[in-house]
């Protein structure tokens, strides 16, 4: 593709974009706002509004407790089964529960408990900090010494694949990584890295938070054992929407949920006094599921399934390439660095640009230019592309406004600092 720096180019790309019509299926409250943060909180699907109104009035309001037997109870499996289609898994291998952090805890502890003779968990320093905190908590809980080995990335951008291969050994219980890493968007080869873990008999646990809904995933082809992920990023499930977890069918009997609660009990309404787990994946549930939040996940999943991950990935690659092209033309000469892989194969759906004044530039973009990116320490301006609703013109405008921030030195009036959510 030969890109140009003209606005007309972006408009032409939008005019020929087969997925362009999906943008109208989302709430666009401020037409002038360029939203490049769908990798932190996806836009609201239009369909979520009547659906939630229906559930609130016709189900919660009218049916009250009867709603549990009229569909609510099955919702974690039903929505999980739909997400499974985005992950290359079967419906009975994915369930909605808790948050990503909690699911990671349950799966990591279960994996470690199932292999009492192994003493290592291996991860990398590109992983999301919460994932590392969770692993540290897991290590404190088990009776035996458990070492967490954090393999450093060679450059802060690419995954340390060779060093991982060297570190994984017969003492490794679990390898856990973010499939697409949160800062650079580096995306691991699922199959190749899963094979590295299996070669030494370790289990492989993937965090799909930044890849689900942005990158085609085939957990079966990769033979991955375990996965977790968010539904409020590229799946557009709403703020704090519950997470998913995946356990390959042949691992489901072997692994036990460490937080044993009544929702995972085999015959829960017998109210027996001793826990006996449900034979299916439901035993990875703990307490009562949040029905309104789970229901809100479905419209976003339906849109992704309708568009198809292959088309979405093709558009995402084209759009991140276009963004990087504009960066090379306009911003590289102004002291910006590309903090994401240059090669599309290794890149998810966001692009990180580094600049020594990154935080202040980010502030000027938000407050003066009506562009919402996000910021990740120490210097990353993260530009998230959600091909369901990000247009080429959005990208053109964001980069043009970013260039204006630099040309007019608008960032100079902002102080170094941090706000709570960026």
Ligand X SMILES: *Cc1c(COP(=O)(O)O)cnc(C)c1O
Which of the residues are catalytic?
128, 207, 232-233, 382
Stretch 109-128 residues interacting with ligand X (CB under 6 A): 128
Min dist CB 106 to ligand X, Å, is: 12
Considering beta carbons, is residue 43 or 118 the nearer one to ligand X?
43
Cβ distance to ligand X smaller for residue 101 or 223: 101
Q: Does 382 bind ligand X (CB under 6 A)?
A: no
- Range 211-222 burial, b when 16+ CB lie within 10 A, else e: bbbbbebebeeb
The set of residues, in sequence order, having a beta carbon less than 8 Å from that of 327 and lying 6+ positions away, is: 336, 338, 351, 353, 399
Q: Which residues of 175-202 are buried (b: 16+ CB within 10 A; e: fewer)?
A: bbbbbbbbbbbbbbebeebbebbbebeb
- Please identify which residue in 43, 106, 118, 210 interacts with ligand X, judged by CB under 6 A: 210
For the record, the structure tokens of 362 come out as 């980010």
Q: Angle, nearest 10°, between helix axes 298-307 and 309-326? A: 90
Tell me the HSE value of 399 on the side-chain side, using a 13 A CA sphere: 31
Tokens at residue 377, please? Answer: 């320490």
| Residue 290 touches ligand X, criterion: CB under 6 A | no
Segment 216 to 235, residues that bind ligand X, using CB under 6 A: 230
Show contacts of 404-408: CB within 8 Å, 24+ apart. Answer: 404/369, 405/361, 405/364, 405/365, 405/368, 405/369, 406/331, 406/334, 406/361
Among positions 22, 182, 206, 375, the unique one binding ligand X when judged by CB under 6 A: 182
Q: Residue 233 Cβ, how far from ligand X at the closest point, in Å?
A: 6
- By CB under 6 A, residue 259 contacts ligand X: no
Q: Cis omega before residue 378 (within 30°)?
A: yes
* Least distance in angstroms from the C-beta of 128 to ligand X: 3
Taking phi over 0 as left and psi of -120 to 50 as alpha, with beta for the rest, 343 belongs to beta
Minimum distance between the CB of residue 79 and ligand X, rounded to whole angstroms? 16
Structure tokens at 107: 């799966």
Q: Report in angstroms how near the CB of residue 357 gets to ligand X at its nearest.
A: 25
Residue 298 makes contact with ligand X by CB under 6 A: no
Can you tell me which of 48, 153, 172, 209 binds ligand X, judged by CB under 6 A?
209
CB of 208 to ligand X, least distance (A): 8
Using CB under 6 A, which residues numbered 92 to 111 contact ligand X? 99-101
| Comparison of 112 and 230: residue with beta carbon closer to ligand X | 230
> CA 213 to CA 341: how far, in whole Å?
19
Based on CB atoms, which residue is closest to ligand X, 100 or 172?
100
Residue closer to ligand X by CB (options 209, 349) is 209
CA gap 203, 108 in Å, rounded: 9
**Closest CA relative to residue 387, chosen from 304, 298, 297:** 304
Does residue 244 touch ligand X according to CB under 6 A? no
Instruction: Count the residues of the shown chain that bind ligand X, applying the rule CB under 6 A.
Output: 13
- Interaction between residue 376 and ligand X (CB under 6 A): no
- In the three-class reduction of DSSP (H, G, I as helix; E, B as strand; rest coil), residue 26 is classed as strand
If the CB atoms of residues 296 and 364 are measured against ligand X, the closer one turns out to be: 296
Question: What residues make contact with ligand X under the rule CB under 6 A?
Answer: 99-101, 128, 130-131, 178, 182, 207, 209-210, 230, 243
């Amino acid at each position: 593709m030969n890109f140009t720096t003209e606005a007309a180019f972006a408009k032409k790309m939008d005019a020929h974009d087969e997925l362009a019509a999906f943008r109208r299926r989302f709430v666009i409250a401020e037409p002038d706002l360029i939203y490049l943060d769908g990798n932190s909180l996806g836009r609201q699907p239009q369909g979520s509004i009547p659906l939630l109104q229906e559930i609130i009035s016709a189900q919660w309001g009218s049916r009250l407790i009867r709603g549990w037997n009229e569909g609510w109870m099955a919702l974690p499996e039903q929505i999980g089964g739909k997400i499974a289609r985005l992950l290359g898994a079967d419906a009975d291998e994915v369930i909605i529960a808790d948050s990503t952090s909690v699911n990671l805890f349950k799966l990591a502890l279960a994996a470690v408990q199932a292999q009492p003779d192994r003493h290592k968990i291996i991860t990398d320093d590109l992983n999301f900090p919460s994932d590392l905190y969770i692993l540290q908590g897991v290590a404190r809980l088990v009776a035996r010494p458990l070492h967490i080995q954090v393999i450093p990335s060679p450059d802060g951008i690419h995954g340390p694949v060779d060093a991982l291969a060297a570190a994984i050994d017969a003492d490794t219980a679990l390898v856990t990584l973010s499939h697409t890493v949160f800062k650079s968007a580096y995306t691991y080869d699922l199959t190749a890295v899963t094979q590295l873990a299996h070669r030494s008999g370790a289990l492989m646990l993937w965090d799909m938070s930044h890849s689900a809904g942005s990158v085609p995933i085939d957990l079966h082809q990769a033979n991955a054992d375990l996965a977790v992920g968010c539904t409020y990023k590229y799946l557009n499930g709403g703020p704090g929407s519950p997470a998913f977890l995946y356990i390959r069918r042949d691992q489901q009997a072997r692994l036990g949920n460490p937080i044993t609660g009544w929702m995972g009990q085999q015959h829960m309404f017998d109210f027996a006094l001793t826990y006996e787990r449900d034979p299916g994946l439901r035993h990875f549930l703990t307490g009562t599921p949040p029905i309104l939040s789970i229901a809100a996940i479905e419209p976003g999943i339906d849109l992704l399934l309708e568009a198809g991950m292959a088309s979405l990935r093709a558009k995402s690659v084209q759009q991140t390439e276009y963004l990087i092209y504009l960066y090379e033309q306009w911003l590289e000469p102004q002291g910006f660095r590309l903090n994401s892989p240059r090669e599309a194969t290794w890149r998810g759906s966001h692009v990180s640009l580094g600049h020594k004044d990154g935080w202040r530039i980010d502030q000027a973009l938000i407050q003066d230019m009506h562009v919402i990116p996000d910021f990740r320490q120490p210097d990353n301006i993260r530009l998230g592309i959600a091909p369901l609703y990000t247009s080429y013109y959005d990208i053109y405008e964001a980069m043009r406004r970013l260039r204006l921030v630099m040309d007019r030195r608008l960032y100079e009036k902002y102080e170094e600092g941090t706000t709570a959510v960026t």
